Structure 1
Amino acid sequence: MNPRQLKTFLAVIRHENLTRAAAEVNLAQSSLSDQIQALEEEVGADLFLRSRQGVIPTPAGAVLKTYAEEILALNDEAKAAVSAAAGNAEQSITLGTLEIIAAERLAPWLSLFRKKNPDVNFKIKIRGSGELLAQLQQGSIDIAFTFDRRQQDERFLTRRICSEPLVLIAGRDFQARPPESLAALSTAPFVATETGCVYRYLFDTAFAEAHIAAPSIVTEADSIATIIRLVASGTGYGLVPRLAVGPAATRGDVVELPWPGNPPSASLVMMWRRRRVQPPALSLLLQSASEELSPLRPGDARLRHAG
């Protein structure tokens, strides 16, 4: 089981299609099939079921997936540790985050960090919350900044940065009065992201923690910026992080309404893979983020297992 075989194996799992997987790993489809066949012969089991619908892992393939991810992660970690010990570590970090967090929280801080550490280069990937975790797991990104979903994963370390308030918004011309209770809100029209998105999780959690049925979603949108524009046009209410509302509120497109009860909030966290030796550039970034992004003192930042 060499790393190239395992990368090919995981590409097939991701795409469920040999042609698309071959394109990702820059192989002819016949070469990809040869690698999978050699891997199956080595482990002594069929790894995929092939049908008209696509290619899916067998139970044996599903088991190997977890080990393949860990082997490749350990392989990358070993290379980074050796480079660091030899003084040849590349000062580069690939950072993944949500669009709003990148624009409103990370951009000013990263600019300051670069001035203090001019030898460290960045690549920033804007992704959805689910994709961020997948890329962190695959090693495509070094660190993720996202909102906490309280999911535990022993492979990652999570550090809370701060608490971001969620705010109830309505369009300026929308006939919306401040709600008297959460029960009243449960019958109001809302705009939200689709199920599975971290913002929808925050929306559902705000009502679930108050033991109130979540309102009807009249429109789903795939970005917070689009939700705010829909709310501004009068489609319904929105519950979004305050950090995303600033420009629209300044223009007067939306108004913030008081939340009946304890105002909901979301924990902004950074997540990175657990390693024996962290790359020097990543260690610098973690320290800077704890000091510059969090309202807490660095010593108060809590480290816990999470995903």
Structure 2
Amino acid sequence: MELRHLQHFVAVAEDQHFTRAAERLMVSQSGLSASIRALERELRAPLFVRTTRRVTLTEAGRALLGEAERILAQVRAAHEAVAAVQGVLRGTLALGTEQCIAGVHVAGLLAAFRRRHPDVEIRLRQYGSGTLAEEVAAGRLDLAFAYRTQADTDQLRSASLTTEPMYVLCHPEHHLAGAAALTPEDIAGEVFVDFHPDFGPRRATDAAFAETGVRRTVALEVNDVHSLLDLVDENLGIAVVPRHFRHKREALTALPLKGTAEAAYETVALLPPHRATSPAARALMTLLETGGE
């Protein structure tokens, strides 16, 4: 089994399209198709269901995907380890982050990293914390900056970066705006704006309310910070968010949320559970810890 066959297989599985995968790999589509057919012959099983619009994995393909990703990650780590011993950091840094993460200025950190290690290719992916944890566990990411939730981080190594209290954001004309602080009981009946359940702040907020036994209903669900702020700015609902969000829209009223031991968001660096941290990921963490961003 050749590594290039596994690389081609993973690319097609990710793109669900032979043409797009061939363009990304910079190979001909006929060459890519031949590579996949060779792998299928070797494994004696079809790996994809092909249609005119896209390709999907067969049961055999799904079984192979996780193993192929782990093999390729191990090969990449081997190359990077040898390069690090030789005093030159090369290879790839596959980094994930949740948007507007607290405690890390991601753009500044990556700019500083590139200045120090120009031979390392940086690949950045932005997901919710739940997906980030899955990507790190599967070996598709070397490192991720995410919000800690018990279900996501139990099976991973993690390093705490910062902790922020929960705040309630509301329009200045909202009936709660004059309060000094609020509890989950105070806001249980309100209209909530919140993120998709994959996002770390949503998971932590849900856990905080569950801890108090207070039920709430998220009526307006979004996938980005600016949409959340826009909806609150139009007085369509309130939002429970990390403290630093209050500085993103100064006209909104921000009130601390009290009354639950779980009322905090912890930012962590997520690392693979069963393999060594890649040299590039170690270098990025060192840069972060020394204030290099």
Query: Shorter chain as normaliser: what TM range?
Result: 0.7 to 0.9
**Residue 119, structure 1, aligned to residue 104, structure 2:** no
- Aligned-pair Cα RMSD in Å: 3.4
Give SS of 1:271's match: strand
Query: What is the one-letter code of the residue matched to 2:244?
Result: L
> 1:205-225: CA deviations, max 9, x gaps?
222222222x22232222123
Does structure 1 retain, via aligned residues, the 8 Å contact 2:201–2:265?
no
2-side partners of 1:108 and 1:31: how far apart? 37
> 1:107-164: CA deviations, max 9, x gaps?
69839x949x96345857361225645664676654211112332575x532122222
1:143 corresponds in structure 2 to 143
2-side partners of 1:108 and 1:15: how far apart? 26
Give SS of 1:161's match: strand
> 1:81-103: CA deviations, max 9, x gaps?
1112223333985543233127x
2-side partners of 1:185 and 1:88: how far apart? 55
Sort the Cα spacing of 1:207 and 1:60 in 2 relative to 1 into closer, same or farther, 3 A. Answer: same
> 1:236-289: CA deviations, max 9, x gaps?
1101111222242xx33223254344461122100233544741x543433454
2:285 corresponds in structure 1 to 286
2-side partners of 1:145 and 1:180: how far apart? 29
**Residue 243, structure 1, aligned to residue 244, structure 2:** yes
1:226 corresponds in structure 2 to 227
1:186 corresponds in structure 2 to 188
> 1:150-183: CA deviations, max 9, x gaps?
32575x5321222222211211112326487534
1-side partners of 2:86 and 2:47: how far apart? 39
What does 1:52-201 align with in structure 2 at a 5 Å threshold? 54-90=54-90, 93=93, 95-101=95-101, 105-106=104-105, 110=109, 114=112, 119-120=116-117, 123=122, 125=124, 127-129=126-128, 132-133=132-133, 136=136, 142-150=142-150, 151-152=152-153, 156-176=156-176, 178=179, 182-201=184-203
TM-score, scaled to structure 2: 0.80
What does 1:262-301 align with in structure 2 at a 5 Å threshold? 262=261, 264-273=263-272, 275-276=275-276, 278-279=278-279, 282-290=281-289
5+ residue gaps, structure 2: none
Sort the Cα spacing of 1:136 and 1:87 in 2 relative to 1 into closer, same or farther, 3 A. Answer: same
Sort the Cα spacing of 1:157 and 1:2 in 2 relative to 1 into closer, same or farther, 3 A. Answer: farther
Does structure 2 retain, via aligned residues, the 8 Å contact 1:170–1:257?
no
Query: What is the one-letter code of the residue matched to 2:285?
Result: L
Does structure 2 retain, via aligned residues, the 8 Å contact 1:73–1:138?
no
Give SS of 2:104's match: helix
1-side partners of 2:91 and 2:75: how far apart? 19
5+ residue gaps, structure 1: 294-307
Give SS of 1:101's match: coil
Does structure 1 retain, via aligned residues, the 8 Å contact 2:79–2:91?
no
Does structure 1 retain, via aligned residues, the 8 Å contact 2:5–2:35?
yes
2-side partners of 1:99 and 1:126: how far apart? 10
Does structure 2 retain, via aligned residues, the 8 Å contact 1:96–1:127?
yes
Sort the Cα spacing of 1:291 and 1:147 in 2 relative to 1 into closer, same or farther, 3 A. Answer: same
Residue 42 of structure 1 and its aligned partner are, at CA, apart by: 1.0
**Residue 50, structure 1, aligned to residue 50, structure 2:** yes
| Higher mean displacement: 224-233 or 251-260 | 251-260
Aligned residues: 285
Residue 212 of structure 2, aligned match among 210, 215, 218 = 210
1-side partners of 2:72 and 2:107: how far apart? 34
| Higher mean displacement: 30-39 or 50-59 | 50-59
1:303 corresponds in structure 2 to none
Does structure 2 retain, via aligned residues, the 8 Å contact 1:100–1:243?
no
Residue 290 of structure 1 and its aligned partner are, at CA, apart by: 4.5
1:35 corresponds in structure 2 to 35
Does structure 2 retain, via aligned residues, the 8 Å contact 1:231–1:254?
no
Sort the Cα spacing of 1:14 and 1:149 in 2 relative to 1 into closer, same or farther, 3 A. Answer: farther
Sort the Cα spacing of 1:182 and 1:86 in 2 relative to 1 into closer, same or farther, 3 A. Answer: closer
2-side partners of 1:277 and 1:51: how far apart? 39
Identity of aligned residues (%): 26
Query: What is the one-letter code of the residue matched to 2:218?
Result: I
